[in-house]
Amino acid sequence: MIGMIGEANQEHLDWKLREKAIGLFRRLEEISELPRFQGATVDFHRKRPAMVFIAEKEMIAQVENEELLKFIVAQGVRRVLVDALWPTNAGVLKQIVESGVEVWVLTRPSALHGWRKNHEGKPRGLVDWLLKHHPQVLEGFKQGIKKDTFDAILLRYVKPKFMRPISKEHLTSWVRMILFRTARRNYQRLINQLEAFGELSEDERWRLKMAEDHLVAEALAFVDIVRTNYPGIDGLFTELNIADDVIAKAYCAEVFLELDERRSPHRARNLAGLRWNDDEDDEELLRDGEFSFALNQLTAKVFGVNPQLARKGFRKKEWKTLVKIHSFKRRLLMGSGPDASAGETRARVLGGY
């Protein structure tokens, strides 16, 4: 039976859909090699209510974001995995973390359904893997497998390497980072537009100056909030010799924030899409465009070179910059150093369940 969770959470879910979702869950539970997240899994959206699944109670519910903390606490949930971070849900997640509940986030969206384009060979996501190795599990779903209700259930079976824990410090800094990235994109878009006019008029120069001032203001605000949440990060700015460049510090803060210090820096290399040669398999190069851009621009400032001219040698410099930031963050947050045993350090880095 599906646990009753109150009419407010049930009224938008058709009972046939709920029964079908629980049927999918029971099929997946029969596959022993699948990992299992111990806690609630949440499929988030910018504007629609969240879909919440609690495996231990066979409970699927549609919950308004502002009611999520109350719902989770009422159900006795101690761990939550969400499929994505949105500016609209960051505040809610921060409240959940502050209540003492562990919050994890999916770091690779394609871990569920794979990439948009079809690829031959190794499956690119959980659904791809199921279609290849356990097609009977998805019988009767067809394209409907992408419904929010089913995504909340599928999240339970994503590999631990595609998720990371999120702290309140990260969430607070992340919101400011989004504002900085928006200002940076707007500034670059304006530059591209004005270049088409050749010599700038006084009004156009004024617009460009206003956009630049806004970018600097957002960079300052972002760096300040990261400094507040991660005391000691000024040491990293000093190591990279960028203490007097606020834009460079903002790029550095982006890379710092996005890095998962529990994992190998090689996974961050994949995130940045750093390819050493043209024959390297695209499968391992996940590439986050925003992360890659921040690392690229930061490296250019650190080494004083033009990334478009440096080519292959520049990628080596990006890797050096990335490793230095990863090492600093790991020391700062995990205390790994000469006093930490290899076993303790490895356990902290791998994390997992």
Domain residue spans in the chain?
A: 7-165, 168-350
Give the mean pLDDT of 12-33: 87
Give, rounded to a whole angstrom, the gap between the first and last alpha carbons of the chain.
Answer: 28
Mean pLDDT of the chain: 84
Q: Supply the pLDDT for residue 141.
A: 77
Phi/psi region, residue 347 (left: phi>0; alpha: psi -120 to 50; beta: rest), is alpha
Q: Is the pLDDT of residue 197 over 80?
A: no
Q: Which of 43-47, 152-156, 196-200 is modeled with the greatest confidence?
A: 152-156
Q: Supply the pLDDT for residue 350.
A: 34
Q: Supply the pLDDT for residue 144.
A: 64
Q: Which of the four pLDDT bands, split at 50, 70 and 90, describes residue 122?
A: low
Q: Is the pLDDT of residue 209 over 80?
A: yes
Residue 200, SS3 per DSSP: coil
Q: Supply the pLDDT for residue 187.
A: 94
Asked if residues 101 and 72 have their Cβ atoms less than 8 Å apart, the reply is yes
23-71: pLDDT as tens digits: 999 999 999 999 999 999 999 888 889 999 999 999 999 999 999 999 9
d(C-alpha 226, C-alpha 228), whole Å: 5
Locate the DSSP E strands across 116-175. Answer: 163-165
Bigger pLDDT: 101 vs 146: 101
d(C-alpha 231, C-alpha 225), whole Å: 10
> What pTM does this model have?
0.84
Phi/psi region, residue 116 (left: phi>0; alpha: psi -120 to 50; beta: rest), is alpha
d(C-alpha 255, C-alpha 293), whole Å: 10
Q: How many CA atoms lie within 13 A of 313 on its CB side?
A: 5
Give the mean pLDDT of 100-129: 77
Q: At what angle do helices 342-350 and 312-334 cross, to 10 degrees?
A: 110
Q: Is the pLDDT of residue 347 over 70?
A: no
Bigger pLDDT: 211 vs 203: 211
Q: Is the pLDDT of residue 348 over 50?
A: no
d(C-alpha 260, C-alpha 226), whole Å: 16
The pLDDT > 90 percentage for the chain reads 55
Q: Which of 20-24, 130-134, 251-255, 279-283 is modeled with the greatest confidence?
A: 251-255
Question: What is the third-level CATH fold of 7-165?
Answer: Nucleotidyltransferase; domain 5 (3.30.420)
Weakest mean pLDDT among 50-59, 210-219, 275-284: 275-284
- How many C-beta atoms surround the C-beta of residue 219 within 10 A? 23
Weakest mean pLDDT among 8-22, 114-128, 209-223: 114-128
- How many C-beta atoms surround the C-beta of residue 203 within 10 A? 8
69-97: pLDDT as tens digits: 999 999 999 999 999 898 888 999 999 99
